[in-house]
C-alpha cells in the first residue's frame, strides 16, 4: 500500500473536510502517482485516485492535523475503503445488483448521494472576498443585518446503539443533556461546552445547518456527519441584530464563515426553485396540510452483516425554503 506523497500539506487545522477539498488534493498530485496501486485484492489494483474519490463521496471529520492522529484517521478511512470495495466486488460476483429489492434500495441511496453532490456544486458560490466581509461587518455594527445564533446540545457517537438508548431515555423522561453526557463520555466538555451560550450557526458546521430548520425544544437525528452519528437538540435560537464592538481582524474569519454560509444557502434555495420551475414540479399543499405528523422519537437500523449496520433509510437535512421561492416564481410567471 502506498502513502500520500510527503510533499502534500493539509491546509485545514481541524473540522470538516468536504468533497471539493479532496478534489483539490487530487489536483496537487501528479497523474503518475494517482495511478499507483493503493491496495490490491483478487489481482485487481485500486489506485490512489480511486481512494481519493471514495473520500470525496462523504463528509470527513478531521479533529487535528497532528501527524499521529492524521495517520490513525487515514488508516481508518483506508480500512473503510478496502471493506467497501471488497463487499462491492463480492456483491457484483453474485449479481446481487440485479435483484429487484437491491435495485430499489440502490435507487433510494443514490438519490441521497446525488443530493449531497448537488449541494457541492454550489460551494464555489460561497467564496467570500475581504471586501464583502468588511461590508458585512459594517452593516452588522449598524444593525442593518444579522445572523442566527443557537443554543445547541449534541450527542455524538459512531455507536448507533448508544444513540438509540438516548432516544429511549428521552421517551422515559430523562433530560437530553444528561443522556448526551453519557454518550459523549470524556468528549462531552468539548462537544457541549457552549451549550448555555448563543453561538453563530455557522460555527456548528453541518449540525448548525440542520439546527436552523428546527424549532426550540426539537430533537433531530441520528444523522451522519463525518465519521459519526449525531443526535441534536435545539434549546433556543435568536437573530443577532448588532455585533458587539470588536476589532475587524479579530472577527474576520468568523464573519467570513457566517457570510459564506448565507451566500451558499441562498444559492441552493434559488437554484432548487429554478429546477422545480423548469421541470414543472407540482405540490399538493392541501394534502400536505392534511398529513398527521407525530413527534415520536425513534431510530431504525438495517443490519449489513459482519456486525455492521446503517440507518434503515437516508436521514436528510430539512430543506423546504426553496418552496416559497418557487411559489414566487410561479406568481411572476404563471
The mean-pLDDT minimum among 14-28, 31-45, 223-237 falls in 14-28
- Distance set, CA 98 to CA 103, 110, 111 (Å): 6, 15, 18
Say whether pLDDT at 242 is over 80. Answer: no
- Number of other residues whose CB lies within 10 A of the CB of residue 253: 10
Beta bridge partners of 311: 301
The percentage of residues in the chain with a pLDDT greater than 90, rounded to a whole number, is 15
pLDDT of residue 7: 40
pLDDT of residue 154: 96
Say whether pLDDT at 14 is over 80. Answer: no
pLDDT of residue 10: 39
Q: What CATH number has the domain bearing residue 234?
A: 3.10.50.40
- The dihedral through the CA atoms of 268, 269, 274, 280 has a sign that is positive
Rg value, the chain, Cα: 22
Residue 104 domain flag: yes
Question: Residue 123's pLDDT band (boundaries 50, 70, 90)?
Answer: low
Out of 54-58, 98-102, 261-265, give the one with best mean pLDDT.
98-102
pLDDT of residue 181: 93
Residue 6 domain flag: no
Beta bridge partners of 234: 152
Cis peptide before 222 (omega within 30 of 0): yes
Same domain, 164 and 226: yes
Residue 1 domain flag: no
Residue 108 domain flag: yes
Same domain, 108 and 74: no
The string of DSSP letters for 216-264 reads TT-EEEEEEETTEEEEEEEEEEEEE-S--S--HHHHHHHHHHHHHHHHH
Beta bridge partners of 302: 310
Same domain, 212 and 263: no
Question: Residue 12's pLDDT band (boundaries 50, 70, 90)?
Answer: very low
List the domain range (segments joined by +) for residue 76: 15-94
Same domain, 137 and 252: yes
Q: Which residue has the higher pLDDT, 205 or 118?
A: 205
pLDDT of residue 11: 40
Mean of pLDDT values over 82-111: 87
Same domain, 168 and 234: yes
Say whether pLDDT at 1 is over 70. Answer: no
- Number of other residues whose CB lies within 10 A of the CB of residue 158: 11
Same domain, 198 and 64: no
Residue 258 domain flag: yes
Same domain, 253 and 308: yes
CA 137 to chain centroid = 27
Helix axes 248-278, 130-141, angle to 10 degrees: 100
Last residue of a domain, one of 94, 124, 159: 94
Range 119-135 burial, b when 16+ CB lie within 10 A, else e: beebbeebebeeeebee
Cell numbers 432516544 label which residue?
Answer: 167
Q: Which residue has the higher pLDDT, 20 or 325?
A: 325
Same domain, 80 and 120: no
pLDDT of residue 245: 47
Residue 2 domain flag: no
pTM above 0.75, yes or no: no
Same domain, 132 and 252: yes
Query: Pick from 258, 260, 137, 128: which is nearest to 199 by CA?
Result: 258
Same domain, 187 and 234: yes
Same domain, 43 and 86: yes
Last residue of a domain, one of 94, 112, 132: 94
Mean of pLDDT values over 47-64: 77
Same domain, 210 and 151: yes
Residue 211 domain flag: yes
Residue 68 domain flag: yes
Q: Please return the burial class of 303, using the count of CB atoms within 10 Å of its CB with bins 0-12, 13-18 and 19+.
A: exposed
CA distance 185 to 165: 14
Counted domains in the chain: 3
Amino acid at each position: 500500500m502506498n502513502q500520500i506523497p510527503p510533499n502534500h500539506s493539509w491546509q485545514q487545522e481541524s473540522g470538516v473536510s468536504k468533497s471539493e477539498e479532496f478534489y483539490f488534493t487530487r489536483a496537487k498530485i501528479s497523474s503518475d502517482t494517482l495511478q499507483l496501486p493503493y491496495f490490491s485484492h483478487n489481482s485487481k489494483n485500486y489506485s490512489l485516485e480511486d481512494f481519493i474519490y471514495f473520500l470525496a463521496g462523504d463528509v470527513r471529520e478531521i479533529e487535528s492535523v497532528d501527524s499521529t492522529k492524521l495517520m490513525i484517521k487515514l488508516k481508518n478511512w483506508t480500512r473503510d475503503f478496502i471493506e467497501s470495495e471488497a463487499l462491492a466486488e463480492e456483491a457484483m460476483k453474485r449479481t446481487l445488483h440485479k435483484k429487484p429489492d437491491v435495485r430499489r434500495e440502490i435507487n433510494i441511496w443514490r438519490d441521497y448521494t446525488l443530493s449531497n453532490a448537488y449541494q457541492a456544486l454550489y460551494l464555489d458560490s460561497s467564496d467570500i472576498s475581504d471586501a464583502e466581509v468588511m461590508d458585512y461587518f459594517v452593516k452588522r455594527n449598524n444593525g442593518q443585518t444579522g445572523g442566527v445564533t443557537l443554543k445547541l446540545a449534541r450527542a455524538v457517537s459512531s455507536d448507533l446503539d448508544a444513540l438509540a438508548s438516548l432516544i429511549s431515555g428521552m421517551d422515559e423522561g430523562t433530560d437530553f443533556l444528561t443522556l448526551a453526557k453519557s454518550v459523549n463520555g470524556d468528549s462531552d466538555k468539548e462537544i457541549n461546552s457552549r451549550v448555555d451560550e448563543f453561538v453563530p450557526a455557522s460555527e456548528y458546521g453541518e449540525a448548525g445547518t440542520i439546527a436552523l430548520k428546527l424549532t426550540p425544544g426539537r430533537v433531530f437525528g441520528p444523522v451522519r456527519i463525518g465519521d459519526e452519528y449525531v443526535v441534536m437538540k435545539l434549546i433556543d435560537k435568536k437573530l443577532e441584530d448588532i455585533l458587539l464592538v470588536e476589532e475587524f481582524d479579530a472577527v474576520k474569519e468568523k464573519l467570513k464563515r457566517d457570510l459564506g454560509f448565507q451566500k451558499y444557502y441562498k444559492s441552493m434555495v434559488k437554484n432548487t426553485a429554478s429546477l422545480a420551475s423548469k421541470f414543472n414540479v407540482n405540490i399538493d399543499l392541501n394534502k400536505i396540510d392534511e398529513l398527521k405528523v407525530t413527534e415520536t422519537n425513534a431510530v431504525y437500523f438495517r443490519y449489513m452483516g459482519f456486525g455492521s449496520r446503517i440507518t434503515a433509510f437516508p436521514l436528510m437535512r430539512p430543506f423546504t425554503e426553496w418552496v416559497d421561492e418557487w411559489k414566487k416564481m410561479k406568481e411572476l410567471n404563471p
